[in-house]
Amino acid sequence: MPETLILTVNGEACTVTVAPRTQLAEVLRDHLDLTGTHLGCEQGVCGACTVIMNGKPVRSCITYAHTCDGAVIETIEGHRGDPVMDQLRDAFSRHHALQCGFCTPGMLATAHDIVTRFDAADEATIRHELSGNLCRCTGYVGIVGAISEVIAAKGATSAPPAPLRNVKPFTPFDPVEAAAVPAASAAPKGSVSTDGGWTVVKRSFALNHAPDAVWALFRDPARVAPCIPGATVDSLDAENFSGAVEIRFGPIRARFGGRGTYANDDNARAGSIRGEGNDKLGKSTVRGELRYAIAAGTNPQTSRAEVELRFEIDGMLAQFNRPELVTGFVNYILAQFAANCDAVLSGGEAGPAKRLSVFAMLWAVLKARFSR
């Protein structure tokens, strides 16, 4: 059913009526004629479609328009009276930071965010921050030089050269606040959604053992970690852990090393793990929280696990924030995890982590598209 949205785009209020699943890029380009927002991959990878929404850069090709109701959006046609964007445009021009210009609107949106957030940044930092925007022409040297110059100019003045936008830094989950959020078991089954900058995956799956036995496994990180494909625990105490998760997805291989905390509630048979880590090779970071609860299954000898995973990935692997990829990836990992849990609870051992087939993933993505 069509939905009417009220947006403020480039300082002007507008009302658009769109079909469900319309992407923000489509609204900007086809409804508002703002064709400076370019579409490249349309899968959240290349960054060409990046615009600034409520002060944060977003991929308009994978942002559902219905989630933008009431949003304040700046596209490349906007930013009127914004000194940061004026300086960036000037610097891009002087540094020859564009050739065909296809990536430039998205580059400028991301550059604006970088300049806004950093008072000082070296080349490595700027390249890291830019890693979600691809350019086929320039080799990035001019782009990095232009951004570097604007940041340096900002640091050279006692006051910032532009009114800073309200970009909130990452805030770790507050345990008290988290406890107030409804348990995963109350959530709709099998959904993937976004909440602010977070990707939220909710899943429910069956295990062929009684709830008490399954909970005894889940509550013990040293026992359950080997069941998670690719996970290893390096150190562990009553609340904290450090370790790594290795992901193999076709040619992509990433090893996220990090640390976090965990807590269990034996009465509720529920718990949570919070942590963050980074992949040094792929220069990506991940932050997130996993909540889990074990409920009775269809008979006393079976259980149902309810899990809710919230995460945010920055850097080269940021495409894993995409719901379609996440859905296939999580389903694949959970299937291995459930099989490993059942094997361990039956007195056996968890199997080795398998490489995730790109073709299996693509098939899952295509299936999801066809079913839409």
Q: Which of 7, 53, 61, 325 binds ligand FES (CB under 6 A)?
A: 61
Maximum alpha-carbon separation in the chain: 71
Q: Does 96 bind ligand FES (CB under 6 A)?
A: no
At its nearest, how many Å lie between ligand FES and the CB of residue 136? 4
Instruction: Pick the stretch among 45-53, 72-80, 249-257, 266-274 that binds ligand FES (CB under 6 A).
Output: 45-53
Q: Does 252 bind ligand FES (CB under 6 A)?
A: no
Instruction: Pick the stretch among 99-107, 109-117, 188-196, 348-356 that binds ligand FES (CB under 6 A).
Output: 99-107
Beta bridge partners of 263: 272
CA pseudo-torsion sign 61, 192, 171, 245: negative
Q: Does 101 bind ligand FES (CB under 6 A)?
A: yes
Q: Does 100 bind ligand FES (CB under 6 A)?
A: yes
Q: Does 360 bind ligand FES (CB under 6 A)?
A: no
Q: Does 52 bind ligand FES (CB under 6 A)?
A: no
Residue 287 or 322: which CB sits closer to ligand FES? 322
Tokens of 192: 């993937």
Q: Which of 52, 91, 98, 200 binds ligand FES (CB under 6 A)?
A: 98
Are 195 and 311 in contact, with CB atoms under 8 Å apart? no
Q: Does 121 bind ligand FES (CB under 6 A)?
A: no
Residue 75 or 272: which CB sits closer to ligand FES? 75
Are 208 and 332 in contact, with CB atoms under 8 Å apart? no
Q: Does 135 bind ligand FES (CB under 6 A)?
A: yes
Q: Does 281 bind ligand FES (CB under 6 A)?
A: no
Q: Does 40 bind ligand FES (CB under 6 A)?
A: yes
At its nearest, how many Å lie between ligand FES and the CB of residue 341? 36
Q: Does 45 bind ligand FES (CB under 6 A)?
A: yes
Q: Does 44 bind ligand FES (CB under 6 A)?
A: yes
- Count of CB atoms situated within 10 Å of the CB of 186: 11
At its nearest, how many Å lie between ligand FES and the CB of residue 220? 41
Cα 354 from Cα 333, distance rounded (Å) = 9
Burial 19-31 (b: 16+ CB within 10 A, else e): eeebbbbbbbbeb
Site string for ligand FES, 192-231 (x = CB under 6 A): ----------------------------------------
Q: Does 102 bind ligand FES (CB under 6 A)?
A: yes
Q: Does 57 bind ligand FES (CB under 6 A)?
A: no
Q: Between β-strands 3-9 and 72-74, what pairing exists: parallel, antiparallel or unpaired? A: parallel
Q: Which of 18, 28, 48, 73 binds ligand FES (CB under 6 A)?
A: 48
At its nearest, how many Å lie between ligand FES and the CB of residue 44? 5
Q: Which of 41, 183, 225, 365 binds ligand FES (CB under 6 A)?
A: 41
> Which residues sit at the interface with ligand FES, rule CB under 6 A?
39-42, 44-49, 59, 61, 98-104, 135-138
